[in-house]
Amino acid sequence: MDRRDPLAHLRDRFRLPEGLIYLCGHSLGPPPRTVGARAGQVISGEWEADLVAAWNRHDWVELPRRIGRRIAPLLGAGEDEVIAADSVSVNLFKLLGALLLRTPDRRAVLVEEGNFPTDLYMAQGLARLLEESGATLRLTAPEDFESSLGPDVAVATVSHVDFRTGRMLDMGALTSAARAEGVPLVWDLSHSAGAVHLRLNEDEVEFAVGCGYKYLNSGPGAPGFLYVARRVQDTLESPLTGWMGHASPFDFETRYRPAPGMRRFLAGTPPILSMAALDEGLRTFEGVDMAAVRRKSVELGDLFLRLAGERLAQFGVVPASPADARRRGSQVSLRHPDGYALMQALIARDVVGDFRGPDLMRFGLAPFYVRYADVRDAVEALRLALVNEEHRQARFRQQKLVP
């Protein structure tokens, strides 16, 4: 399978320790080989050489929009519909706030209770901030999300791929259902952008956010991005009206006027060093067909689940991810009562995944650098750890701050 893999050459675009099987790209992608040189160029060749003049000489001020144009094809979006800025949390607050303020007759913010915690926390904070105007937060079970899209809901948000199990929602169907109820839906693409073949325009998605440090391989805490469909961009005003979102930021006017298009969703000065790393991470996608990426993602996931069923079931390991690849992102999760200790034992065997309580072992299957043999060897390493009862060792049961 590795010999016939049309994406095998992409592994050479990254720096990965020799002998390590890295299945944690769903949490933090590895560094591109070129990112060190790019960072050095920005520091020495631009910042050090030109100081403040670098904003013009190297067009730093336009970096958020240039990066947005690189991200857009990965999302199935137009070049003028994406901009890089801030974090997922901040960008989600911007969109939820803008949409809540746009509909004074609807005051509920709908969130799936199993959503990624930062999405839930930001929605809670927004509702608290606007509670005097009647804003409320409504939590719903995943199976009840669609039926909860009622006439009092101002905005809803949901993750495309569930961070725990890898369950993937039908983006087109849920977007259509929300639109039928008059509810704008904000998608969190953090666990799908760069690994799943997205078609935001085709699915008529209007709003989305995502991060740069997972499958986009842009470094810890890399800037996130926003997507807003062209047709509705100028109908919204961000609640975070920072100077970079002003129509004429260097006129230093007293009164805020939103910039046209996606630039209105900027807030503060862009972090140029982090933006450069994000830009370099996106270069690894040059010449890559996202449909081919998705095909390999599906094959890796199917192989992982098949081998896990054959070799691990006798030890009480249970799949937590959908068997149907159409309902699964680029991640496989397995359940075991001693999942934390087992993951630490695996890491000691140079197989890196991660753990989410109470019992989930997560394995990210980034098609750019994960090989089919890596999947086989990871399952075998887990089998051996179970056979040898390595998870019972005290050193693997000591809880770390980052599990």
Active site residues: 116, 188, 213-214, 362
Instruction: Tell me, rounded to whole angstroms, the distance of Cα 391 from its chain centroid.
Output: 30
DSSP string, 267-323: -S---HHHHHHHHHHHHTTTT--HHHHHHHHHHHHHHHHHHHHHHTGGGT-EE-S-S
Distance CA 386, CA 393 (A): 12
**Hey, CA dihedral for 121, 126, 131, 136, is it positive or negative?**
negative
Instruction: Judge whether 342 and 361 are in contact, CB under 8 Å.
Output: yes
Q: How distant, in Å, are the alpha carbons of 10, 173, 200, 377 from that of 2?
A: 12, 35, 31, 13
Q: CB neighbours (10 Å) of residue 164?
A: 18
- Residue that is written with structure tokens 């062209």 in the block: 230
Distance CA 210, CA 84 (A): 9
Q: Which tokens in the block code for residue 46?
A: 């631009």
Q: CB neighbours (10 Å) of residue 252?
A: 8
**Hey, CA dihedral for 70, 73, 78, 84, is it positive or negative?**
negative
Length of the chain: 403
Cross-strand pairs, 112: 140
Q: CB neighbours (10 Å) of residue 341?
A: 23
Instruction: Judge whether 232 and 114 are in contact, CB under 8 Å.
Output: no
Q: Which residues contact 341 (CB under 8 A, 6 or more apart)?
A: 391, 392, 393, 396, 397
Determine phi and psi for 381, rounding to 5 degrees.
-65, -40
